[in-house]
Amino acid sequence: MKDIFSAPFIREMGKTASNMYRLGWDERNGGNISYRLREEEVGEYLDLGKVIREIPIGFDAPSLAGEIFVVTGTGKYFKNVEDDPETNLGVIRIKKDGKTAELLWGYKDGGRFTSEFPAHMMSHMARQSVDPESRVVMHSHPTNLLAMNYVHELDEAKFTHTLWEMCTECIVVFPEGVGVLPWMLCGTNSIGEATAAKMKDFRVVVWALHGVYGAGKTLDETFGLIETVEKAAQIYMLIGSRPRLNTIKDEDMVKLVELFGITNYRKDFLKL
Ligand code: 2HA
Ligand code: ZN
């Protein structure tokens, strides 16, 4: 059996959490990541027949039965994941009943997965229903995006349009736009269900006055998606209330998507 501390999926979780921490997106225990793994890759590092303990998940996830995830732990700090993955991460498998998680590795101090587990698992189910390659769900509190929530209308079309205007490549990176949920109580099944409903149409969902959810095929891609949205929000906040003399026009955005051969962009979010 290979050493799990050298597993790419463990190392990459640590590096991603460190990057997010250093960017100031994940203060204290803010943020959480879940990454769906392939049984073959986990089997190189762990005995898949050995379950450390079982943890009830508190909702039904039948379509995830048998799926294995590495998930950040509740109350754990992103800044510590890279140095001590065995305490701050857990590798879990959803049992056949779809209601229980089997701990295969990690949460060494007796911990459990993030309090946002419902939103993560429900988002995985939603994303997989539209993209079977989807493997990552990431939650974070990016500073400028959060600031923007206080001063910009939370209408999805308007919010997306402003972000698209802030960097030329935004419409290429998230052509479907961003979903926006109103402020809701976090950690609940209801916010999980609302997030998952948005995840059928968007890979980025803003939790108003809280943070953001992103989904993607890889950790890199998902991180890059949130990074791009946060960059756009940063430009918006830097401009502030100064008069805007120049902007990217809607017809220019159309030229961009055409250049990149993108057809699934939200035309209804543009004013053509
Ligand atoms: O886990 O970010 O939304 C800490 C959070 C909860
Ligand atoms: Zn949060």
Ligand 2: distance of its center to the CA of 250 in Å? 33
- The pLDDT of residue 135 is 98
Token pair belonging to 176:
């479907």
Claim to verify: residue 205 and residue 127 sit in the same structural domain: yes
Listed residues 115, 143, 164: the one ending a domain? 115
Pair 45, 129 in one domain: no
Same domain, 88 and 131: no
| Residue-level pLDDT at 101 | 98
Question: Which residues does 190 contact at the CB level (< 8 Å), separation at least 6?
Answer: 184
The conformation of residue 244, written as its DSSP 8-state character, comes to P
Residue that has been written with the tokens 């055409």 in this structure: 258
| Residues 243, 183 share a domain | yes
Supply the range of the domain harboring residue 33. Answer: 1-115
Shared-domain flag, residues 14 and 69: yes
- The three-state secondary structure class of 28 is coil
Kindly report, residue by residue over 27-72, the tens digit of the pLDDT.
Answer: 999 999 999 999 999 999 999 999 999 999 999 999 999 999 999 9
Report residues of the chain scoring pLDDT below 70.
none
pLDDT at 162: 98
- Among 83, 115, 147, the domain-final residue is 115
With contact defined as beta carbons under 8 Å apart, do 99 and 57 qualify?
yes
Query: Is position 116 annotated as part of the catalytic site?
Result: yes
- Pocket of ligand 1 contains residue 188 by CB under 6 Å: no
* Domain stop point among 115, 145, 167: 115
* Residue whose CB lies within 8 A of the most ligand 1 atoms, among 25, 32, 71, 78, for a mutation test: 32
Q: Residue 148: its pLDDT value, please? A: 98
Number of domains in the chain: 2
